[in-house]
């Protein structure tokens, strides 16, 4: 039976931000938060990472945008959003009514895009920290992805760091040969924490039409299918840096979340699970509390990085 999502056992912090529990709603899966207020008690959540914000509004990709894969989900929404100015004017005032920390996910296609979105948000109250989605191609550098080039990633984080007074979290992509150099580059650039993983590039085909299942062709694979890989990458990243790590990728239960903390994460984000159960972040936090109680663990912080690992 699930426990209390605001139990004292679950209290923790991330980059100096107090969290009622270590389970956050992941960007792109929980709207701007306020849309779920009639379904979920937002005041009990550990945190809300709003969907990605850009300098200008973006319409997104053509439908279909979502496809149910085996043990997971593929999506190609195309980072649809209302733009940072509209978010600050229309959504942020509503979010300020709640006691839950709000993390603004930020993306762009040039260093200046990221810096400008953060600059706008710096003028408004109600944002606890920024999460930089670096899984975008840099259009000024021939389409090189920020997430796959340590040098470019370091420059991006440094540029944002010069503008941001709030903590900066860098969300890393799993679509790289090795995660450690990217984690270190984010830390060296001035990141206060890193989060990982984002979705895996994937493809599904309709046998009858012989066309991709998604309107944009490729999509991002998430859900339980990616959990073992995400867990491995969180473990590797946590060992490579000294800053906190936020783990995500296929978390569907309190036990899943606990595994990520044991691997080295300070907190976790829940995404795909909210599509079939909007209360997933609260349910998972409650299940984690029940696990702690059963194991007689006084604080969730006692789990972090406790994996027993011996090289062969």
Cα separations in angstroms, 111 against 35, 88, 157: 30, 21, 9
Flag whether 1 is in a domain: no
Question: Which one of the listed residues 19, 73, 104, 136 is annotated catalytic?
Answer: 136
Looking at residue 80, what is its pLDDT? Answer: 94
CA–CA gap between residue 290 and residue 288 (Å, rounded): 5
Total number of domains in the chain: 1
The CATH number of residue 134's host domain is 3.20.20.70
Flag whether 49 is in a domain: yes
Quote the tokens at residue 7: 């139990």
Residue 64, CA atoms < 13 Å, CB-side half-sphere = 14
Flag whether 196 is in a domain: yes
pTM comes to 0.96
Flag whether 214 is in a domain: no
Flag whether 20 is in a domain: yes
Listed residue (67, 180, 165, 158) closest to 119, CA to CA: 165
User: Which of helix, strand or coil describes residue 86?
Assistant: helix
Flag whether 2 is in a domain: no
Q: Give the domain range for residue 180.
A: 8-62+77-202+220-302
Backbone CA torsion sign across 162, 79, 25, 145: negative
State yes or no: is 136 an active-site residue: yes
Q: pLDDT 10s per residue in the chain (312 long)?
A: 689 999 999 999 999 999 999 999 999 999 999 999 999 999 999 999 999 999 999 999 999 999 999 999 999 998 999 999 999 999 999 999 999 999 999 999 999 999 999 999 999 999 999 999 998 876 676 667 889 999 999 999 999 999 999 999 999 999 999 999 999 999 999 999 999 999 999 999 999 999 999 999 999 999 999 999 999 999 999 999 999 999 999 999 999 999 999 999 999 999 999 999 999 999 999 999 999 999 999 999 999 999 998 765
Flag whether 54 is in a domain: yes
In this structure, what are the phi and psi dihedrals at residue 77, rounded to the nearest 5 degrees?
-75, -30
Flag whether 212 is in a domain: no
| 3-state SS, one letter per residue, for 113-164 | HHHHHHHHHHCCCCCCEEEEECCCEEHHHCCEEHHHCHHHHHHHHHHHHCCC
Looking at residue 140, what is its pLDDT? Answer: 72
């Amino acid at each position: 039976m699930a426990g209390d999502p605001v139990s004292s056992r679950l209290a923790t912090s991330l980059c100096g931000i107090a969290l009622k529990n270590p389970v956050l709603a992941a960007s792109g899966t929980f709207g701007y938060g306020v849309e779920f207020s009639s379904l979920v008690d937002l005041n009990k959540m550990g945190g809300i990472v709003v969907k990605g914000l850009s300098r200008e509004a973006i319409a997104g990709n053509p439908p279909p945008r979502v496809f149910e894969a085996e043990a997971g989900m593929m999506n190609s929404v195309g980072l649809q959003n209302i733009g940072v100015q509209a978010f600050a004017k229309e959504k942020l005032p509503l979010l300020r009514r709640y006691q839950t920390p709000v993390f603004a996910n930020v993306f762009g296609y040039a260093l200046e895009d990221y810096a400008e979105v953060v600059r706008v948000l710096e003028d408004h109250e109600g944002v606890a920290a920024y999460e930089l989605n670096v899984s975008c191609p840099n259009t000024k550098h021939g389409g090189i992805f920020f997430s796959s080039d340590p040098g470019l990633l370091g420059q991006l984080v440094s540029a944002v760091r010069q503008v941001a007074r709030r903590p900066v979290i860098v969300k890393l992509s799993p679509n790289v040969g090795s995660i450690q150099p990217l984690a270190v580059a984010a830390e060296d650039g001035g990141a206060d924490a890193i989060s990982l993983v984002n979705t895996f590039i994937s493809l599904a085909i309709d046998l009858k039409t012989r066309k991709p299942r998604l309107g944009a062709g490729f999509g991002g694979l998430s859900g339980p299918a990616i959990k073992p890989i995400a867990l491995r990458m969180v473990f590797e990243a946590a060992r490579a840096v000294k800053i906190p790590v936020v783990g995500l990728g296929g978390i569907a239960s309190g036990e899943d979340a606990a595994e990520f903390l044991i691997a080295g994460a300070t907190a976790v984000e829940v995404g795909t699970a909210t599509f079939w159960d909007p209360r997933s972040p609260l349910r998972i936090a409650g299940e984690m509390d029940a696990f702690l109680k059963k194991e007689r663990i006084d604080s969730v912080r006692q789990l972090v990085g406790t994996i027993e690992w011996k090289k062969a």
